[in-house]
Structure 1
Amino acid sequence: MFLEAAIALLSMATALFMQPWRLLASQRPLAHETHGRASPLWTPLLASLVVLPWAWALPTLHHMPLQLQWSGACLVLLTLGWPLAVPVLLAVGAIAALVSPGLSWADALGLAVWQGVVPATLALLLGWLMRRLIAARAFMGARIFVYVLGRGFLGTALCIFLAGSLSQWAGHVLPGVGEQLSLVARWLMAWGDAVVTGMLCAVFVAFKPQWLATWSDQIYLSGH
């Protein structure tokens, strides 16, 4: 638990230092508003706080032979950006502990770190690497598929699996599953996360790009 607490405190302090609340003070109002300056990021933020706690608490709400886990952290990262995603994911862990009697605060902290902060941070590093490759002209033409497939789909599978492997190294094994089979199970579950994240990224890019804090027309649509 000491490791999880240290990661959570360090990540939260770094995120707060970057003043994530500035992302919620957008110049663009919501589509249905005629007055005010509310950020469109309020929609994915509130959706994360409503949906994710139930997804994280589900394995403790129902007894299953294999506790299927769904993170959603990479999607939160893509929609909110890292500084805002970290406090949201930590809050999701706290809410999950409140809605599930079988989830202790220590377990909720582990969920918030290994299913939330760590994969979101890995996704941030992957996005930085892809932008560097784009700047070096490693990808030619329109790069929308670099974002949707690279960050939304394949990148999510990789980040979720790496985070799950790190959590297993830290002592968090899947109940009822052997150590070697746990890695196989984590790999398969990571693809479930990847399918949902990649699909929603494609939808948001097409219809609601303002819900993606990490999206940029200049970077991913320009062919120059």
Structure 2
Amino acid sequence: MLLLPGFLESCLLIAALAAACAVRPWRMLQGTGRGLLVPLVASLVLVPVLWWGWRAPLSLALGLLGAQFVLLALGWPLAVLVFLAAGVAGAVLGDVSWPGALGAALWQGIVPATAGLVAGAALRRAAGPQPFLYLVGRAFLLPMAATFGVACLAHALAGRHEALGDAAPAVFALAGLLDGMFTGMAIALLVLLQPGWVATWSDRLYVPGSAAWRHRHEGSAPTTRRPAGRLGNH
């Protein structure tokens, strides 16, 4: 098993934090983006609970869930800050070592979210802003694949989840399926009921015929507005 050096993991964490802070994601929480405060607070509470609130072996599986939902609801820059905060909470409030807590922030949060961001951007570039592909592809299939793939990568490169032994691939596959189902259903409900709580969703991009869509394609003034996509959120 190839183990990624701790120094390299630290460099990846610093690079992710610098990239997230460079776009000043807290500006998204102003004006029409204040609706994102709800998923932000929910993520700051639920992610540490999923990561640190359970005993092994259940914690090993539940710790793989949630990263894709946080990515889609908040966008990549804010998601990075949430994952780092969850890691710090585990070290300060729990009995997790700092290397273990920051390793979790990287492999259970930042890397899966980055994989989902890149795959989602590639999907939208290839197929265009299709609402069906957003809800089924980006909110269900891609989270399932990203969660499973990154868990396998972390197991191989960083030796994470070694306690699972030979059952690791099966647990990773189940976690990927659960994460895809949860993310898909949660994002679909939010898009339907509270689209302002989803940073990566925009009527201007995904809803043909809406006032925001007509404004984008025809130049007419929209009569209603919802938060448009933000930097680093596509």
Q: TM-score normalised to the size of structure 1?
A: 0.83
Query: 2:110 matched to 1:117?
Result: yes
Cα separation, 2, equivalents of 1:18 and 1:65: 36
Q: Give the one of 180, 184, 204 matched to 1:194.
A: 180
Cα separation, 2, equivalents of 1:212 and 1:176: 35
Structure 1's 50 and 65: CA in aligned 2 closer, same or farther, altered over 3 A? Answer: closer
Q: Give the one of 61, 65, 90 matched to 1:68.
A: 61
Determine if contact 1:53/1:96 at 8 Å carries over to the other structure.
yes
Unaligned runs of 5+ in 1: 29-37
Aligned residue number for residue 41 of structure 1:
36
The one-letter amino acid of 1:187's match is A
Aligned residue number for residue 93 of structure 1:
87
Per-residue deviation, 1:66: 7.9
SS at match of 2:51: helix
The one-letter amino acid of 1:161's match is F
Aligned residue number for residue 7 of structure 1:
12
Cα separation, 2, equivalents of 1:58 and 1:170: 25
Q: How many residues align?
A: 204
Determine if contact 1:82/1:120 at 8 Å carries over to the other structure.
yes
Identity of aligned residues (%): 38
Determine if contact 2:143/2:180 at 8 Å carries over to the other structure.
yes
Cα separation, 2, equivalents of 1:24 and 1:207: 19
The one-letter amino acid of 1:67's match is L
Q: Give the one of 102, 108, 121 matched to 2:101.
A: 108
Cα separation, 1, equivalents of 2:111 and 2:174: 18
Aligned residue number for residue 125 of structure 2:
132
Aligned residue number for residue 209 of structure 1:
195
The one-letter amino acid of 1:132's match is R
Q: Give the one of 75, 78, 87 matched to 1:81.
A: 75
Per-residue deviation, 1:99: 3.5
- Relative to its length, the structure with more helix (as a share) is 2
Determine if contact 1:146/1:220 at 8 Å carries over to the other structure.
no
Unaligned runs of 5+ in 2: 1-5, 210-216, 218-234
Aligned residue number for residue 225 of structure 2:
none
TM alignment of 1:152-167, pairs within 5 A: 152-167=139-154
Determine if contact 1:54/1:96 at 8 Å carries over to the other structure.
no
The one-letter amino acid of 2:85's match is A
Determine if contact 1:71/1:116 at 8 Å carries over to the other structure.
no
Q: What's the C-alpha RMSD, in Å, of the aligned pairs?
A: 2.1
Aligned residue number for residue 151 of structure 1:
138
TM-superposition CA deviations, 1:137-165 (whole Å, max 9, x none)? xx8xxx32211111111110111112112
Q: Give the one of 44, 53, 64 matched to 2:48.
A: 53
SS at match of 1:44: helix
Runs of 4+ in 1 over 4 A off after TM superposition: none
Determine if contact 1:57/1:96 at 8 Å carries over to the other structure.
yes
Determine if contact 1:92/1:112 at 8 Å carries over to the other structure.
yes
TM-superposition CA deviations, 1:16-72 (whole Å, max 9, x none)? 11111111113x2xxxxxxxxx7111111111111110110134xx24488323331
The one-letter amino acid of 1:170's match is L
